[in-house]
Structure 1
Amino acid sequence: MLRMLNLKLAFFLLISVAAFTGFNANEGDPGHPNDDVLGLLVFKSDLQNPPALSSWNEEDNSPCSWNFIRCDPVTGKVSELSLDGLSLSNKIGRGLEKLQSLKVLSLSHNDLSGNVGSELAQLSNLETLNLSHNSFSGRFPDAIANMSSIRILDLSENSISGPVPESVFENCFSLQLLSLAGNSLEGQVPTSLLKCSILSELNLSNNHFSGNLLSSSSIWSLNRLQVLDLSNNQFSGPVSAGISDLHNLKELRLQGNKFSGSIPNDIGFCPRLNRIDLSNNLFSGQMPSSLQRLNSVTHLDFSNNKLTGDLFQWISNMTSLEHLDFSSNGLTGTLPISLGSLTSLQFLSLSNNKLWGEIPTSLVYCNQLLNLQLRGNSFNGSIADSLFSMGLKELDLSSNELSGSIPEGSGKLFETLTVLDLSRNNLNGNIPPEIGLFSNLRHLNLSWNNLGSRMPLEIGYLQHLTVLDLRNSALYGPIPGEMCESGNLGILQLDGNSLSSTIPEQIGNCSSLYLLTLSHNNLSGLIPNSMSMLKKLEILRLEFNELSGEIPKELGMLQNLLAVNVSYNRLIGRLPPTGIFPSLDWSALQKNLGICSPLLRGPCIMNVQKPLVLDPYEMNRGNNNDRGDAIVETRRFQHHRFLTVSAIIAMSAAVAIIAGVGVIILLNVSARRRPSFVDNAMESMCSSSSRSETSPIGKLVLFDSRSSGEWDAKNLESSLNKASEIGGGVFGTVYKAKMGMEGKVVAIKKLLASNTFLYPKDFDRELRILGEVKHPNLVCLIGYYWTPKIQLLISDFATNGSLQSRFHDRTLSMPPLSWPTRFKIMLGTAKGLAHLHHSFNPPIVHYDLKLSNILLDENYNAKVSDFGLARLIGKHTASNRFQSALGYVVPEMACRSLKINEKCDVYGFGVIVLEIVTARRPVDYGEDNVTILNDHVRVMLEQGNVLDCVDASMGEFPEDEVVPVLKLALVCTSQVPSSRPSMAEVVQILQVIKTPVPHRMEVF
């Protein structure tokens, strides 16, 4: 280290002396090291961990024998320094500027950091500068403008940020390759780039560049371009014509931007093009017919755009195609038989279009095809056996209208297939036992079909299987224990079938399982203890079965378990005291035979063994010699005694039943008399001391009688004035008022006049039910006030107002809500609704869900208000009076005889979620059209641009939470009520979305 410091000192002294005397260390003193040696050694001294540079010896007079160094054979000066991938770290220090003959400097794939220094600009002869794949940061180096001799400039895969200076390419006449990919550069690309007239490769991908670099035909003046990569930026607008001027262009990558308009018609006149990727943009219209001229193109990707029209027949002319992806567009028509001419094709994806007809058998001639994806269309007919004889690795025909049976498979497919997805079709028949011959199959999805078969034992032969999804496929019979023999299965979903018998004990062999769902079957018996061996298990769903006994306490030891649902079974006993079980929501436990939990209203049945009964005559028996006679007498006596005890028990039971019936009769009589007594008592308690007996004001009922004396019924009506009005809706107007001696702030809803309210006993009965509803995410009903002319509901006041005021009526002084707050509101709203739906019989249906009915307390917890008023007023019959807010009306209300149910609330909740995420109204009236929010989001999701719907005002948000939440909202707003989940399921899904899961599965 000391020698290095001395070397640095000598170096700086040398520079100082040279500056004043013109001394050159290379001249006149062959015993001293030259400038190249000194410069390289000083450069090395600033690096950390340079063991690869051990050959650099300060005793040498020349560095030309050192590793990674090349010298000019004529001058003996260093011309090339290549230190790629040597794990070098720290900053680039002084020293390199002494290498005045250096032409190539390559330091890629290291861990160098700091700014790209201006010292490099002093290398006047430098032709190649490669600093890619490091950790350089700071702004784009202005000094690049002075490097007029540079030919190759690669700064890719660093952390350089900010805009690129406009003048930086003023002297780039020699520049042939420019790569700035994988940084954080932003703003518009400087127009001085157009001066780089001999540029052959331009890569600006994976930055934040914006504007429209391709809107002007001037960009096409760079006619020597062979590679143009602008992918994954924020470029927008149309692409101008003139691309045909790029006669040398081989690769065009524009994916991941917002380019719009039609694809340039002259794109097919670039004869050397072999790779075109325009995916994930906003291109529309039909594909230009000039594409058929590109006989040498191998990669064509137009996926996730808005292209329309028939799938063209001339596709077969592009015989060199290896990769063809037109997925997620609006293409129509049938598949041309001529696709079989694409004998070089390896990847074909036409998913999520509007294609129909049968899948042509001519695809079998594409003998190089490895990946075939046709999901999300309207293909019909049966699956050709020939498809199951090809050498495919992935086959996805899901979400179509295919019928018939699953082919048995043969030939190469047994060895090559890794992914098979035939879900969401109309397939029937048995799962072929040959399925067990697919030796490399990893992902098998046959869900949502009508197979009507047993699960084949041969599934256990799939040693590499990691995902098995057979949901809703009309399967019956037992679950074969053999399927867990491999131990690689990570996801097992068998929900919605008719599987019977018990859960196999061998389930414990599925040691890699992290998602296990067996709900909605006919499974019976105990939950096996072996399930506690599933150490990686994260989600367990067993609801809607006939499982009995206690939940094994060993399941509480599963540390990774995040979500459990065992509702609607015949389980009893205590929950496991550890793990997730103490924190389970009631919806995950409800409707069992007797689970012991404070969250449940129902019996607690313990699985206690029968008591041991001792023979009371054991001690009085004789010795062994008289044992035979004693046994005979004892048996006779015991038999007689047993009959006597049985008779006594029967008589006691009969007496208890008679007494119980009598008590019930008395309670019913008492219950009928009680309301008037209670009403009179409450009126007495709530009357003001100065109140006149001859002029009754009205009936004030508070559900918490302890505070009733503090309330003044006399001032209730007088407090309802225009100044205190804070909102209104279908059911009435809401006021803010102070009540009681302590001035408690409450919300008072003045109900609209209606004949329904003329009967105080009915009104009292319904409101007492609502008064018993207690939940952290529901507005608490404190009491009511009734007269024949006015009815008031008194409830807690929400400090932060409603979601309506936070989204659609937000003032500039209100900051936008962050994503964590929005998610908290959505989850709280779901929990409140789930409590209404699943804790009461009959369920309490809100039916007027909208943003104005979701209130926020001081901590921004969601409080659902106005619940139960549809039941109070409408008596479960839909009418024009309820759910009048546009955008929230469920589609099934077109059938006027349909009764209100929980699915109406699920639909309204889905709309609310969309509003919270997008900050847009359910129905948006534009100048020329009307936009329905859920339809708009659904279209954007299908096009792969759903994140464009997200409210930009909330700042950063996690995509892996926002996208599943939007998908959940779209499922909730399904046109078919039966397709909507229950609110209990919604709560569980939201909890899974929010939980950081190392291997989070696709919820949808």
Structure 2
Amino acid sequence: MKFHRYALLLLLLSSLFPPPCLCQLNDDVLGLIVFKSALLDPHQSLSSWNEDDASPCAWKFVQCNSGNARVSELHLDSLSLSGKISRSLEKLTSLKLLSLSNNNLSGPISPDLALIPTLDHLDLSRNSLSGNLPPSLAALQFLHLSHNALSGPLPDNMFDNSLSPRFLSLAGNRLEGPLPASLSKCVTLNHLNLSSNRFSGGFPRGIWSLERLRTLDLSRNVLSGEIPAGMASVHNLKELDLHGNQFSGSLPSEIGLCPHLSKIDFSYNFITGAVPESLQKLNELAYLSISNNFITGDFPQWIGGMSSLEHVDFSSNALTGSVPSSIGELKSMKFLNLVQNKLIGGIPSSLGECWSLSVLRLGGNAFNGTIPNGLFDMKLEELDVSRNEVTGFVPPPSSKLYESLEILDLSGNNLVGDIPPEMGLLSKLRYLNLSWNHLESRMPPELGYFQNLTVLDLRSNALTGSIPGDICDSGSLAILQLDDNSFVGPIPDQIGNCSSLYLLSLSHNSLSGRIPESVSLLSKLKILKLEENELSGEIPPQLGRLENLLIANISHNRLVGRLPAGGIFQTLDATSIDGNMGICSPLVKSPCVMNVPKPLVLDPYAYASQPGREARSPPRRTFLSVSAIVAISAAAFISVGVLVITLLNASARRRIAFFDNALESMCSSSTRSANMAAGKLLLFDSKSAAERLCNVDLNSVLNKAAKIGEGVFGSVYKATTDGTTVAIKRLLTSNRVQYQEEFDREVRILGKAKHPNLNPLRGYYWTPELQLLVSDYAAEGSLQARLHESASPPMTWGERFRIVVGTAKGLAHLHHSFRPPIIHYNLKPSNVLVDENVNPKISDFGLARLLTKHVVSNRFQSAMGYVAPELACQSLRVNEKCDVYGFGVMVMEVVTGRRAVEYGEDNVVILSDHVRVAVEQGNVVECVDPGMREYPEEEVLPLLKLALVCTSQIPSTRPSMAEVLQILQVINTPLPNRIHPQF
């Protein structure tokens, strides 16, 4: 009401006193007051804006033109404002600068903002603005709209009439489509940032004609193709960032003709060829990254002449040759990353002369020789020499490292000797990994001095002695891995001081004694691995209090007695507890041994010689001993058992004879086709189920009308009889097992595979010409249909994660509960059925056992994208890791909602490659199925990382399905400041 009274008063004054200046001032007040009314101002930042004021020039965050007293600039950055941008700002006809960045503004951007005739600077970055980008804004000199939720394509003619833009940033939105060709008309453009969008298509050739361009950032998009020639014309370019795209071809040879370049980033693309020699002409270059490409050729020997370099990243390429000693001339270099190449030779000792160096990563090459002592006499923060062929001793760190080194990774080499006691003086060390070497000493007690150590990994060495009791004095240790050494003695009671411990792995040592009760104090513990030791006694029942414990393995020790009543221990599988002396569990075959003292037995005749007592002679009658009675009872029990089994076998033979007669009667009917000879019907269910199946007319079932699917191993038909619906698979007509005995043996094995996440095999029909498998019919369809063909709403994250975990459980049962393991060979979404509760059931498992290898190899033609690479190589031994590969692809498909292979007009997208690039570029969220509105982002990344590990090209590096299940349990457990294991 007060505002309306003010407006009426303004109209009255305007009619009585019409000076133009007063009218203009009131327009500014009105425009800003209406703008304020549409906002939520939680901190009352705009409290000085009063509608009763004649002019807004004294208001906070407002600047006016001194000549006409009109509002010229409005700075409202970082005020936590929310709401929408009102059109009333159009009344500020002298406004030149509008900055509303870093707020919570939402809704679309009004195209009328561009109607303010004087506006040339608009900054709406870091808000939640949505909708399409108004083309009219392209006329502004400064346009900063980054980090919003703008979407849609940019019109190809958007910049046709825009001759004045100097700064344009649309980074961090959801814009898509090709880049407008009219960008080449922005001849005054100095800064162009279109990063972190979804722009596609090729590199816009016209950009090289923008001679005034200083900064070009097209990173984190899906741009592809080769980078065109013509770069030399942009001779003023200072920063070029194209990382995280799909550019191919070689690096531009003209790049050295842009003399002012200070930053170049081509990382995470598909670039090939050698490093251009013209780079050595860039005397001002400080940042150079070409990592994660396919760069080949020798490491540039001329790099030592680029004295301005501060950041060098050549990691994850295929560079060969050696690193020149001239690299020590890079006195300004702070960061050097050469990880994952094919570099050979020694590590240059001249690196110790790069006094500014703080991060040195040389892992994953073939460097040999010893570690230069000079590297331990620098102020490094991170040193990674892992996975090389380095020999010799671990150099003792110098005083310069004591206050700087945070990460030290020397794992996977051939280092020998002692762990230097000076390691304990590295006060800032957070990560220490010396695993997979040949270190032979005792663990130095100084390692307990670490105050900030989070990860200590000394696995797979030859360390001896006992585990120091003060190893956890700092209280910050989260991961302790001492597996596969020669440690002896007990686990120290002080292990309970490791209050932050998340993973404790002491397996494959010679530790003895009891498991300390203090382990129960490790409330954050998630993984406990104590297998393959000599631990004895009972497991402390207090360990049942470890509510966060998800994985435990105590197998192959000398433990006895009951498992703890609480926590995870009652759900452990046999592989986690077997190999002990007497664990009390129905999962193990060894006898249960309770570790309790034997009762005291008194001999009544022991006191015969004592005075005052009359000696008694033993009784003359001899009775049977307790052991004899037990033996007789056991023999009687066995005899009764043999008799019962004999009777049951006779009954079973009569029942099978009944089935054979019923089948013979059915198959001899006039409706039987000529090629259906009399066969054997065997069902794994009750007699009634057999009768229902025998009443089915095979000719009516095996026809096109009843056909519901077709796969690598045969066609599937739907059959209904007496209210029971089953699925019948007709195996391929050739290359099958030709002998009934062999077929029967293999099917019986598959029939024993019972699990909630398996679609059980109910029975089979066999003749030399026709072989059928009977299983449950899934009315809800397959995961393939739910993901790509169903009209129902998209599955939630919880439903998807349930499918992933259930499928993992089913596969783990096949792999770990049978010897030899049952291998699926054909895992993909069409073979994962989904019931009404969205629980997965794996079907068609183990069918390769019934067919020849020729048929299995032919599956490449029908399961593209799911096939493990080793199945294409006859020389490799194929095992259950091929199922792990298919599982990994299926996980990606569940998370992204995309098919394993997608065919476009001009290209083919392999899902595993797409996800790998997205993870490496940090664009994981953009991979998620857009149909899911809500999902925990903290679970997406580790789940996709697990999928990538499962699809490793090398089978031995893929985890087992048991390990996959353990990792899934960790992923789905909410943890503050969770430390993920290195998958």
Instruction: Say which SS state the counterpart of residue 224 (structure 2) adopts.
Output: strand
Taking the aligned partners of 1:938 and 1:88, their CA distance within structure 2 comes to 37
User: Structure 1 residue 266: deviation in Å?
Assistant: 1.5
Written as runs of structure 1 = structure 2, the 5 A alignment for 1:199-598 is 199-212=189-202, 214-216=203-205, 218-584=206-572, 588-589=576-577, 592-596=580-584
State the partner residue of 1:86.
79
CA apart distance, 1:274: 1.0
Work out whether residues 710 and 740 of structure 1, in 8 Å CA contact, stay in contact via their aligned partners in 2.
Answer: no
Question: Number of residue pairs matched?
Answer: 959
Tell me if structure 1 keeps the 8 A contact 2:327–2:350: yes
Using the TM superposition, give the Cα deviation of residue 343 of structure 1 relative to its aligned residue in structure 2, in angstroms. 0.7
Return the match for 1:103 from 93, 96, 99. Answer: 96
Find the counterpart in structure 2 of residue 26 from structure 1: 21
* Number of the residue aligned with 2:691: 710
Cα deviation, residue 781, structure 1? 3.7
Code of the aligned partner of 2:122: L
RMSD: 5.0
The answer as to whether partners of 1:686 and 1:713 remain within 8 angstroms in 2 is: no
- 8 Å CA contact 2:247, 2:269 repeated in 1: yes
Q: CA deviation at 1:417?
A: 0.7
Tell me which residue corresponds to 1:625: none
> Residues 341 and 365 of structure 2 are in contact (CA less than 8 Å); yes or no, is this contact kept in structure 1?
yes
Partner amino acid, structure 1, of 2:980: M
1:299 Cα deviation after fit: 0.8
CA contact (8 A) 2:726 2:774 kept: no
Q: Which amino acid aligns with 2:153?
A: P
- 1:257-276 deviations in Å (ceiling 9; x for gaps): 22222222222111211111
Deviates more, 1:544-553 or 1:366-375: 544-553
Change (3 A) 1:414 1:427: same
- Most deviating of 152-161 and 706-715: 706-715
1:989 matched to 2:947? The reply is no
Q: Is the 8 A contact 2:733 2:769 kept in 1?
A: no
Per the alignment, do residues 588 and 25 of structure 1 end up closer, same or farther by CA in structure 2, a change over 3 Å counting?
A: farther
CA separation of 1:767 and 1:834: change in aligned 2, threshold 3 A: same
User: Is residue 423–residue 449 contact of structure 1 (8 Å, CA) maintained in 2?
Assistant: yes
Structure 1 residue 288: deviation in Å? 1.9
Letter in 2 for 1:204: L
Cα 1:220–1:546, aligned 2, differ >3 Å: closer, same or farther?
Answer: same
Judging changes above 3 Å, is the alpha-carbon distance between structure 1 residues 799 and 472 closer, same or farther for their aligned structure 2 residues?
farther
Residue of 764, 776, 779 corresponding to 2:756: 776
Alignment of 1:161-172 (within 5 A): 161-165=151-155, 169-172=159-162
Cα distance in 2 for residues equivalent to 1:814 and 1:991: 29
Distance 1:951-1:59 versus aligned 2 partners, 3 A rule:
closer
Distance 2:736 2:155 in 1: 75
Higher mean alpha-carbon deviation, 152-161 vs 791-800, is at 791-800
In structure 2, the residue corresponding to 1:444 is in which secondary structure?
strand
What amino acid does structure 1 have at the position aligned with 2:457?
A: D
The one-character-per-residue Cα deviations of 1:622-653 (angstroms, maximum 9, x if unpaired) are: xxxxxx9997678998xx99x999x978x432
Measured in 2, the distance between the counterparts of 1:681 and 1:709 equals 10
Higher alpha-carbon deviation: 346-355 or 777-786: 777-786
Distance 1:670 1:107, change over 3 A: closer
CA distance in 1, matches of 2:614, 2:224: 97
In structure 2, how many angstroms separate the alpha carbons of the residues matched to 1:264 and 1:755?
A: 56
CA contact (8 A) 1:164 1:189 kept: yes
C-alpha spacing 1:635/1:360, structure 2 compared with 1 (3 Å): farther
State the SS of the aligned residue for 2:363.
coil
Matched, 1:966 2:953: no
Q: Is the 8 A contact 1:323 1:347 kept in 2?
A: yes
Q: Is the 8 A contact 2:577 2:588 kept in 1?
A: no
Report Cα offsets for 1:411-468 as digits up to 9, x if no partner.
3122211001122223233222222121110011122223244333221111110112
- Cα distance, 1:933–1:660 mapped onto 2, change above 3 Å: farther
**Distance in 2 (alpha carbons) for counterparts of 1:533 and 1:481:** 15
C-alpha contact 1:326 1:351 (8 A) present in aligned 2: yes
Alignment-derived partner of residue 679 in structure 1: 653
Question: In the alignment, which residue of structure 1 is the partner of 2:885?
Answer: 910
Alignment match of 1:656 (pick from 630, 633, 638): 630
1:371 partner letter: V
Given that 2:381 and 2:407 are in contact with CA atoms closer than 8 Å, whether structure 1 keeps it comes out as yes
Would you say the 8 A contact 1:938–1:970 is kept in 2?
A: no
Q: Secondary structure at the match of 1:481?
A: coil
- Identify if the C-alpha distance between structure 1 residues 299 and 844 changes in structure 2 by more than 3 Å, giving closer, same or farther: closer
- Pair 1:295–1:920, CA change in 2 (3 A): same
2:884 and 2:958 in contact (8 A); partners too: no
- In the alignment, structure 1 residue 176 sits paired with structure 2 residue 166: yes
Structure 1 residue 185: deviation in Å?
2.8
Please tell me the residue identity of whatever aligns with 1:242: G
| TM-score of the aligned structures, taking structure 2 as reference length | 0.83
Q: Write the deviation string for residues 376-432 of structure 1: whole angstroms up to 9, x where unpaired.
A: 222222212221112111011122222222222223122211001122223233222
Per-residue CA deviations over 1:768-789 (Å, capped at 9, x if unaligned) read 5654442223343434567799
Go from structure 1 to structure 2 and tell me whether the alpha carbon gap of 1:316 and 1:539 turns closer, same or farther (over 3 Å shift): same
**TM-score, normalised by the number of residues in structure 1:** 0.81
Name the SS for the 2:137 alignment partner: helix
Measured after TM superposition, the shift of residue 680 of structure 1 is: 3.6
Deviations 1:182-225 (A, max 9, x none): 3333334444443332222222222233333x442x32232112
Aligned pairs for 1:486-885 within 5 A: 486-584=474-572, 588-589=576-577, 592-596=580-584, 600=587, 602=589, 605=592, 607=594, 609-610=596-597, 651-654=625-628, 656-657=630-631, 660=634, 675=649, 678-684=652-658, 687-688=661-662, 700-707=681-688, 710-711=691-692, 721=702, 736=717, 738=719, 741-747=722-728, 771-783=751-763, 794-798=774-778, 827-840=805-818, 842-846=819-823, 851=828, 854=831, 856=833, 858-859=835-836, 861-864=839-842, 885=859
Q: Deviations over 1:232-265 (max 9, x none)?
A: 2233322222222223221112222222222222
Match of 1:156 in 2: 146
Range with bigger deviation, 576-585 or 312-321: 576-585
- Answering whether residue 197 of structure 2 is matched by residue 197 of structure 1, we say no
Structure 1 residues 201, 360: closer, same or farther in 2, change over 3 A? same
SS in 2 for 1:416: coil
Equivalent residues of 1:965, 1:993 under 8 A apart: no
Aligned residues of 1:683 and 1:700 also touching (Cα < 8 A): no
Preserved CA contact (<8 Å) 1:845 1:870? no
Identity of aligned residues (%): 46
The residue type equivalent to 1:126 in the other structure is: L
Report the Cα distance in structure 2 between the residues aligned to 1:53 and 1:816, rounded to whole angstroms: 44
- Contact 2:380–2:401 (8 Å) recurs in 1: yes
Identify the residue that residue 6 of structure 1 maps to in structure 2.
2
> Contact 1:419–1:443 (CA<8 Å) still a contact in 2?
yes
Q: 1:629 to 1:794 in 2, by over 3 A?
A: closer
2:673 equivalent in structure 1: none
> Aligned equivalents of 1:228 and 1:287: distance in 2?
21
Q: In 1, are the aligned partners of 2:782 and 2:834 still within 8 Å (CA)?
A: no
**Rounded Cα–Cα distance in structure 2 between residues aligned with 1:849 and 1:222:** 53
Q: 1: CA distance between counterparts of 2:310 and 2:301? A: 17
Q: Which amino acid aligns with 1:970?
A: T
**Contact 1:471–1:494 (CA under 8 A) maintained in structure 2:** yes
Question: Are the equivalent residues in 2 in contact too, given 1:883–1:889 (CA < 8 A)?
Answer: no
